[in-house]
Every structure is written in C-alpha cells, then in structure tokens.
Amino acid sequence: MTEVVVVTEYDVLAEVYEWLISDAKLPPAEFAASFDDVLGLLPSNAHVLDCSCGTGQLAVGLAGRGMQVVATDASEAMVRRTAELSEEFGASVRAVRANWEELPDHFEDDTFDMVFCVGNSLHHAAGATGRGAALESMSRLLRPGGRLVLTSRTWELVRARGSRLDIRDRLVRRNGRDAVVVYRWEIAPHWEDEHHIEIAIAQVDATGLVLVRSELLSCWPYRYEELEVELHRVGLRTRVSTFDLEAENYMVVASKV
C-alpha cells in the first residue's frame, strides 16, 4: 500500500529532508568542515548568518566552532527542525522564520561577518527581480569586507537536459528506514519562465509499506554570468568561483566592497 502526501513550500519535505543531504554532510561538524577554506578567514567568534538554513546542519556545525550563528528560512517547518537540531547538539543558534526580503526587518545593516546561502536555494527567488532583492538583502546585512558564500546548481546543465524524471540509483538509509529519492523536472521554454521541481521521497518500512512524501517547488534558473552581474549590482565582488560548465554545482564567495 502506498500513501502520497503533496503540498508546497518544503513543509512536508522538512520532515524528511535528511534523505536529501549527503552522507558526508549529515553530521553538522562535517557540513561546516566542507567550508573550511572560507571559514579560515573568520575569527572564532564571528557573527554568521545562514539564510537558507534547511534543517540546520550547517548552522549547528558553525555554532559548534564557537561562532555566533543566526539561522533563517522561509519555511516555518525548517526553522523548527533547526531549533530541534540545535537543542540536540547543545548548540547556541538563533532560528528565525524569514524570507530573504524580510531579513532587513529582523537584523541591522552591517551585522554579519559572513552570510551563507547554500544548498541551491537562490533559484527559489522569483525571477531576476526576486533574486536581485534577495541578494540586496544579504549584501545589506554584511559588514564591509564581509563575505557571501553561495552555492548553486549549474543551471546551464539542468536546462540542457530538459524535462525529465531522475530516480536515484540507490537506497538512502536514515533513522533505520530506507528511501528512494526522485526528482521530476519541468523545464520551461525560456530561462526567465517559472520552472518546477517535484521532489519525492519514497520511504519503505519493515512491513513493506511505502510512504511517499512529495512537494512541487517553483524555481527560476539563472545563468552564471547573470549571477555575476547581479552580485556586482548589490556591491559584492567575486573573490572565489568554482563555476565549471561541466560540473553539477558550484560555489561563489563574494565580498562586500
């Protein structure tokens, strides 16, 4: 028997989000360690914002290093799970529900030494206008010389592959339960159009019962060259970029002028 749950905005996926995080990054300390190169630029008590915190692995990992960490997300369910993870690890993380545009309502300008926007989150901003507003908010919160750390899918590759069903080729085990992860891509005709990703996690329990949790998410892809222009427009200059047209993902580190 299969039960299917479908809603939007990560409210359902928040409950099973650990199936989407790689084994290597599931422990908070390991997630933070994946950014060692940029974290080495900070003092141990730096003020850091994770503004697309998901279930909190990065935020908790950063707090474990003695940094003063704030974690925000547009999803109330994600913020709740971040708070729960913080409590589990005894980490001091302030978790706040806020989308990118709301960040200046919660924090003063020039507050943070580093802002993280990772996990391929920026594509959920609604088009060039929404993306520009998100980057403007993040830039405002950075101190002069502070850095934005952003990771992204290589959308040039995603669009080239077209609409498709992507079924992961192995089971993922979390909390004693196995699951298959499925992505369904709806690629719109033009770059500026709204695209969709449906993410489904099909869990199998010991009795053979399959529970499918699924959400249809809106996204607006962007070319790397567009991102560079938009960063520059909000007063950020790229210092590090791993962009490669043949790689699935890349990281950009940009500093506030």
- At residue 221, the pLDDT reads 98
**Domain range summary for the chain, segments of one domain joined by +:** 6-11+156-219, 22-154+221-256
Query: Average model confidence (pLDDT) for the chain?
Result: 94
pLDDT at 3 over 50: no
The CATH code of domain 6-11+156-219 reads: 2.20.25
pLDDT at 6 over 80: no
Burial group, residue 210, by CB count within 10 angstroms (0-12, 13-18, 19+): middle
SS3 248: coil
- At residue 83, the pLDDT reads 98
Q: Are 254 and 147 in contact (CB under 8 A)?
A: yes
SS3 48: strand
pLDDT at 2 over 60: no
Q: What is the third-level CATH fold of 22-154+221-256?
A: Rossmann fold (3.40.50)
For residue 152, give every residue at least 6 positions away whose Cβ sits within 8 Å of its Cβ, in sequence order, or none: 120, 122, 123, 224, 227, 249, 250, 251, 252
In the sheet with 93-97, reading across from the earlier edge strand, the strands are 93-97, 68-73, 47-50, 112-117, 142-153, 249-256, 236-241
Q: How far apart are CA 204 and CA 245, in angstroms?
A: 36
pLDDT in tens, 169-226: 999 999 889 999 999 999 999 999 999 999 999 998 888 899 999 999 999 999 999 9
Query: Of all helices (H) and strands (E), which one includes residue 85?
Result: helix 76-89
pTM: 0.94
pLDDT at 5 over 50: no
pLDDT in tens, 9-66: 688 899 999 999 999 999 999 999 999 999 998 988 899 999 999 999 999 999 999 9
